[in-house]
Structure 1
Amino acid sequence: MNADGVRDRASSLPREPGVYQFQEGETTLYVGKAVDLRSRVGSYADPRSARIRRMVERAETIEIAVTDTETQALLLEANLIKRHQPRYNVRLKDDKSYPMVQLTSHEAPRIESTRDPAESATVFGPYTNKGQVETVVKALRETYGVRGCSDHKYSGRDRPCLDYEMGLCTAPCTREIDLESYAEDVTAVERFLEGETGILADPLRRDMEAAAENQNFERAANLRDRLETVEAFHGEGGEAVQSVGDERAVDVLGVAIEGEDATVARLRAESGKLVDREQHTLEAPQEDASEESTPAHASGVPAVLAAFIVQYYAERQLPDALLLPERHGDDEVAAWLEAEGVSVRVPGAGREAKLVELALKNARRNVGRRDECGMLADALKIDAARRIEGFDVSHAQGKSAVGSNVTFVDGSAETADYRRKKLTDQNDDYDNMRALLEWRASRAVEGRDDRPDPDLLLIDGGAGQLEAARDALAAVGWDVPAVALAKAEERVITSHREFAWPSDAPHLHLLQRVRDESHRFAVQYHQTIRDDVKTVLDDVPGIGPETRSQLLGRFGSVENVREATLEDLQSVSGIGEKTAETIKSRL
Structure 2
Amino acid sequence: MEPNEVRARADDLPRSPGVYQFLSGDTTLYVGKAVDLRDRVRSYADPRGERIRRMVAAAETVDVAVTDTETQALLLEANLIKRHQPRYNVRLKDDKSYPLVQLTDHSVPRIEVTRDPEPGATVFGPYTDKGRVETVVKAIRETYGLRGCSDHKYSGRDRPCLDYEMGLCSAPCTGEISEERYREDVESAVRFFEGETGVLADPLSREMEAAAQGQEFERAAHLRDRLSVVESFHGGGEEAVSSRRDERTVDVLGASVEGDRAVVARLHAERGQLVDRSRHRLDAPEGSDAAAAALFSAFLPQYYAERDLPDVVLLSERPDDEDVIAWLETEGVSVRVPGSGREAKLVELALKNARRTDGEPDSVGELAAALSLSRPERIEGFDVSHAQGRAVVGSDVCFVGGDSDTSSYRRKKLSEGNDDYLHMRELVEWRARRAVEGRDDRPDPDLLLVDGGRGQLDAARAALDEVGWDVPVVALAKEEEVVVTTERTYDWPPDHPGLHLLQRVRDEAHRFAVQYHQTLRDDVSTVLDDIDGVGPATRRKLLRRFGSVDAVRAASVEDLTDVPGVGEKTARTLKERL
Q: TM-score, normalised by structure 1?
A: 0.41
